[in-house]
Amino acid sequence: MHDNHALMDSGGFLPLFLLIALLGISPYLAAVYFSNQKYRNWPLQRIVFWSFGIISATAALVGPLAEQAHVDFRMHMAVHLLLGMLAPLLIAMSCPMTLLLRTLNISAARTVMAVLKNPPFRLINHPVTAALLNIGGLYVLYLTSLYHLMHESAFLYAVIHLHIFLAGYLFTVSIVYFDVTPHRFSFLYRSIVLIVALAGHKILAKTLYATPPEGVPRTEAEAGSMLMYYGGDLIDAVLIFYLCWHWYKSTAKREPSFIK
């Protein structure tokens, strides 16, 4: 399907995979260590979330799966799920911003929060903006020649995959507040945005099933689209669960004591 060769030899991927994963996990562990010197111990599950998030992203970019994604639309869609949905969700659940603020002194923490409160960050962290960058970016990728072009340019390939991860992360943290955020929107508003975004993701999957991208065999397009549709459902279910759970907890706190 594509003219370029794989970016690396799959037989020697393990050392590089482990190195990249270690480089991604180590700073978080170091931050946990320094945080625990001043505050109560950082929850173990957040360390697990971060570690598996980094491993998911690394698996999408290094090794046999990443190689096959260049020539097989099914493997490409597996990369999309790992890099654009699962890794962002796991990393968001690890609360990296909260951990960062715990490791900084008061002055530096206030500076970080002041930067995050600036209008550009408020705009990019808005649920609608995040949804447009995330779902809208996928429409541009798959319904134009960009999907074909990115396999002809290593630079374009890297930029697009960076966008996929960052857009997925922004969307996740704009919908469910796992972490510290200076800009908060109502549960109803975020729920509406989430529903529209999920519908857009499903419509795109069905569109790719019916009309494969240029150069993609129909059998691969159908299998990849089904993976996008049903695999995305599993990760979206976690988002929906936590959004509803947070909503329930916020209303339960306001209930009169005789109701509880």
- What six digits make up the tokens of 160? 């697009």
- Mean confidence (pLDDT) of the chain: 89
- The H-or-E segment that residue 239 falls in is helix 232-252
The string of pLDDT tens digits covering residues 110-149 is 999 988 888 888 899 999 999 999 999 999 999 999 998 9
The stretch 156-160 carries a mean pLDDT of: 93
Percent of the chain predicted with pLDDT > 70: 92
The stretch 36-59 carries a mean pLDDT of: 94
How remote is the C-alpha of 167 from its chain's centroid? 7
Q: Name the pLDDT band for 5 (thresholds 50, 70, 90).
A: very low
Q: Which residues of 65-101 are buried (b: 16+ CB within 10 A; e: fewer)?
A: bbbbbbebbbbbbbbbbbbbbbbbbbbbbbbbbebbb
Whose structure tokens read 């299998």? 223
Q: Name the pLDDT band for 253 (thresholds 50, 70, 90).
A: low
The stretch 219-233 carries a mean pLDDT of: 94
Looking at residue 12, what is its pLDDT? Answer: 59
Contact between 6 and 67 (Cβ < 8 Å): yes
The stretch 230-259 carries a mean pLDDT of: 83
CA separation for the pair 28, 26 (Å, rounded): 5
| 183 has pLDDT over 90 | no
The string of pLDDT tens digits covering residues 57-76 is 999 998 888 889 988 999 99
User: What is the greatest pairwise CA distance in the chain?
Assistant: 69
Nearest to 220 by CA among 70, 96, 108: 70
Classified as helix, coil or strand, 256 is coil
